[in-house]
């Protein structure tokens, strides 16, 4: 049994995942960065303090075998925390090219896979409490036309959080979820672009319409979520 400050971060190649990695690296954590774009993962690693202390590994969380291989490749003995951040966004429509399965498989099933394969490593860590943080979304609680898969996947993550928090409490593993609203990431700007095209308005007008529902009238920054 070992106590380490090793943290596994999925979706670490960009956006919130990268910001989380940068935040944790400043606080003496050893990071394992997972993602599907190795170039982006390398950029994240190079941006970290004490970059040589961290490692990045290609991993598609839709595949349990990929996760198993990544954990084995990392050569870690235990984990202090898992940040289950990986996810995809965008619309889906019931048709022959519906993205429902892609979004559910990544956001919900992929997160479930990652947690289940990480739990044995978390159990081996002797810290008083180990941590799992799941990145859900405000859309777990709000509905948006055309985003049925995304909303369902993010709502599913809250159910998963509640179930696992109860299930893993006996192992001193704390399970919590964050539900960010608009965050200044590529995914958010892609959503605004689709919004503007659907309504035949400019992207700036789409941005202003979106921010009208945000009390502060602005997007959060990735590093604010990381904190």
Note the helical H segments in the chain.
Answer: 15-25, 38-46, 64-74, 100-104, 110-123, 148-168, 186-199, 203-211, 222-226
Number of residues that this document lists for the chain: 227
* Helix (H/G/I), strand (E/B), else coil: 217: coil
**What are 98's two structure tokens?**
């519906």
Give the per-residue pLDDT at 122: 98
Give the per-residue pLDDT at 89: 93
Give the per-residue pLDDT at 207: 87
End-to-end CA distance of the chain: 29
- Closest-CA residue to 80 (of 24, 36, 38, 11): 24
Rounded CA separation 186/87 (Å)? 12
Give yes or no: 80 in active site: no
Report the largest interatomic distance among the alpha carbons of the chain, rounded to a whole angstrom. 59
- Per-10-residue mean pLDDT of the chain, 227 residues long, equals 82 97 96 97 96 97 98 97 96 96 98 98 97 96 91 98 98 97 88 82 87 89 94
Give the per-residue pLDDT at 194: 79
């Amino acid at each position: 049994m070992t106590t380490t400050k090793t943290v596994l971060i999925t979706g670490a190649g960009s956006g919130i995942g990268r910001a989380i990695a940068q935040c944790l690296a400043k606080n003496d954590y050893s990071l394992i960065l997972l993602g599907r774009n190795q170039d982006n993962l390398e950029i994240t690693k190079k941006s970290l303090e004490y970059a040589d202390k961290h490692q990045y590994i290609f991993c598609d969380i839709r595949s349990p075998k990929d996760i198993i291989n990544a954990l084995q490749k990392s050569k870690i003995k235990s984990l202090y925390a898992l940040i289950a951040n990986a996810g995809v966004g965008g619309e889906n429509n019931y048709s022959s090219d519906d993205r429902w399965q892609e979004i559910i498989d990544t956001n919900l099933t992929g997160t479930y896979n990652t947690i289940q394969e990480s739990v044995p490593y978390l159990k081996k860590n002797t810290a008083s409490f180990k941590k799992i943080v799941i990145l859900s979304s405000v859309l777990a609680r709000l509905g948006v036309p055309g985003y049925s898969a995304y909303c369902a996947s993010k709502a599913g993550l809250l159910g998963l959080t509640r179930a696992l928090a109860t299930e893993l409490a006996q192992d001193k593993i704390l399970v919590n979820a964050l539900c960010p609203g608009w965050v200044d990431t590529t995914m958010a700007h892609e959503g605004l672009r689709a919004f503007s095209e659907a309504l035949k308005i400019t992207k700036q007008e789409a941005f202003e319409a979106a921010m009208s529902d945000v009390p502060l009238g602005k997007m959060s920054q990735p590093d604010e979520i990381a904190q």
